[in-house]
């Protein structure tokens, strides 16, 4: 089903205009060694260079290039240089989690599943955009996935290792698994290898059918090494940026979109789709909206809830409403139900009103319960990944993944 792109928004432009503005804002992140963490004004900070930011910015610039912005191509090459160079661990393989901005030396040398998923995504998107060096990067990134992160038995992924891949962390997390689904879909599209698409489907099926469905559609986030849920994990630090306590509203929305994308990818390949995919995606999104949107009397989505749906962290993270927009676009396309268009229009109006920073650029990454910018969990504006994809999902089909869909659209217009 085709979907009309939302009308005027974000300061009088369209989502396409806004995508271009986000990419212009992101250009300042390119510094020697990778992509810097940007402050609220869009200036590079002195913080360590993060693998996940460098990968996500590289992915975003590849998407910009595929949309026709030729100024993004050198920025993709910059990201590839960082991933093939200082972030790459020549001795043990894989990629360092963080580097010093001043010396370029590793400051966090663990091999994290979250960051390594984004290496796969960045390399896939860069390869689709036509960057030859991305092929070698993607080949190695997928080899690392095969050797160290993919767990064939449970059909899921490990969380992290020490630098030498000798000791695996006991913890397992759905956040890393979720971004691995996105990365594996992109890799399958970029390489033509169905193994990665099928693994994405296995991960999504386990999360939805084994855990979310039986937990009133609130996705458990934290697990033991044997994949037993740890529902009280981090109850003492509920606002953690990557491992918060309880149900993460934005992840329910993100999973809704990914479930539909996995199902569409499987069916496009002539294979069995996910079990009751549309029903599951709808249930995930409806639960997240009921638990998260305006539940404390003010616009916006709360960050987390307990397992009965009561808000725990009421601050509004920009990425949550971005994923709400993505889920709404995907569900409107999959179901034809106009309620999702109405919700998307309302959420875009909220973004335009308080989340998009019309003076400083990009989106405020965190707002307090009164929708005032704050930095309790997120300082500055580290990257544009979620916001950019919220713009693009309104323009693109459920399958293939972002970069391949943009390339196909570009080629069809020639």
Q: Give me the residues paired with residue 305 across strands.
A: 247, 311
Residue whose structure tokens are 């981090």: 234
Question: What is the rounded CA–CA span in Å between residue 119 and residue 108?
Answer: 16
User: Is 92 noted as a catalytic residue in this protein?
Assistant: no
Q: Catalytic: 386?
A: yes
Cβ-Cβ contacts under 8 Å for 311 (sequence gap 6 or more): 291, 292, 295, 296, 302, 304, 305
* Catalytic option among 222, 318, 365, 386: 386
For residue 201, count other CB atoms closer than 10 A to its CB.
24
Output the CA–CA distances (angstroms, integers) from residue 80 to 10, 127, 183, 299, in the order listed: 31, 10, 16, 39
State the Cα–Cα distance between residues 149 and 156, nearest whole angstrom: 8
CA gap 173, 222 in Å, rounded: 5
The candidate with the shortest Cα–Cα distance to 120, out of 184, 61, 49, is 184
Residue 258: its H or E element:
helix 249-268
User: Which H/E stretch holds residue 319?
Assistant: helix 318-335
Q: How far apart are CA 373 and CA 364, in angstroms?
A: 6
Closest CA to 137 of 179, 66, 187, 178: 187
Q: How does DSSP assign 60-124, residue by residue?
A: HHHHHHHTT-GGGHHHHHHHHHHHHTTTB-TTT-SB-SEE-TTT--EEE--EEHHHHHHHHHHHH
365: Cβ contacts below 8 Å, ≥ 6 apart: 317, 318, 319, 375, 378, 379, 380, 381, 382
Other Cβ atoms within 10 Å of 56 Cβ, number: 27
Cβ 382 vs Cβ 391: under 8 Å: no
Catalytic one among 251, 364, 365, 399? 251
* Cα 238 to Cα 96, 228, 315, 328, 374, distances in angstroms: 27, 20, 12, 27, 17
Catalytic residues: 251, 386
């Amino acid at each position: 089903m085709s979907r009309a792109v939302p009308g005027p928004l974000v300061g009088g432009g369209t989502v396409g205009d806004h995508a271009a503005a986000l990419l212009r804002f992101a250009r300042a992140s390119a510094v020697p060694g990778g992509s810097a963490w940007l402050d609220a004004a869009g200036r590079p900070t002195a913080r360590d260079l993060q693998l996940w930011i460098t990968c996500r910015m590289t992915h975003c610039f590849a998407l910009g290039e595929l949309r026709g912005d030729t100024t993004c191509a050198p920025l993709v090459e910059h990201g590839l240089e960082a991933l093939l160079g200082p972030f790459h661990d020549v001795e043990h393989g894989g990629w360092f989690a963080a580097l010093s901005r001043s010396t370029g030396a590793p400051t966090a040398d663990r091999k994290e599943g979250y960051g390594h998923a984004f290496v796969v995504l960045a390399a896939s998107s860069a390869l689709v955009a036509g960057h030859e060096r991305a092929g070698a990067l993607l080949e190695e990134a997928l080899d690392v996935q095969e050797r160290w992160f993919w767990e064939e038995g449970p059909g899921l992924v490990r969380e992290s290792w020490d630098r030498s891949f000798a000791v695996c962390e006991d913890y397992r997390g759905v956040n890393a698994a979720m971004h691995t689904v996105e990365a594996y879909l992109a890799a399958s599209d970029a390489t033509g290898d169905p193994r990665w698409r099928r693994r994405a489907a296995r991960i999504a099926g386990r999360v939805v059918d084994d855990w979310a469905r039986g937990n009133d559609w609130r996705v458990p986030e934290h697990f033991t090494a044997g994949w037993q849920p740890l529902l009280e994990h981090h109850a003492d630090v509920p606002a953690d940026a990557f491992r918060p306590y309880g149900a993460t509203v934005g992840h329910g929305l993100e999973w809704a979109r990914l479930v539909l994308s996995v199902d569409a990818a499987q069916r496009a390949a002539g294979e069995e789709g996910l079990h009751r995919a549309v029903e599951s995606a709808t249930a995930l999104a409806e639960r997240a909206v009921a638990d998260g949107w305006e539940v404390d009397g003010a616009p916006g989505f709360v960050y987390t809830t307990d397992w009965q749906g009561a808000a725990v962290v009421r601050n509004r993270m920009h990425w949550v409403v971005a994923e709400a927009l993505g889920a709404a676009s995907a569900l409107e396309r999959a179901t034809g139900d106009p309620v999702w268009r109405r919700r998307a229009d309302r959420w875009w109006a909220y973004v335009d009103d308080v989340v998009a920073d019309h003076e400083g650029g990009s989106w405020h990454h965190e707002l307090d319960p009164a929708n005032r910018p704050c930095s309790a969990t997120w300082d500055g504006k580290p990257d544009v990944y979620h916001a950019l994809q919220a713009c693009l999902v309104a323009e693109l089909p459920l399958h293939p993944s972002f970069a391949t869909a943009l390339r196909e659209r570009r080629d069809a217009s020639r």
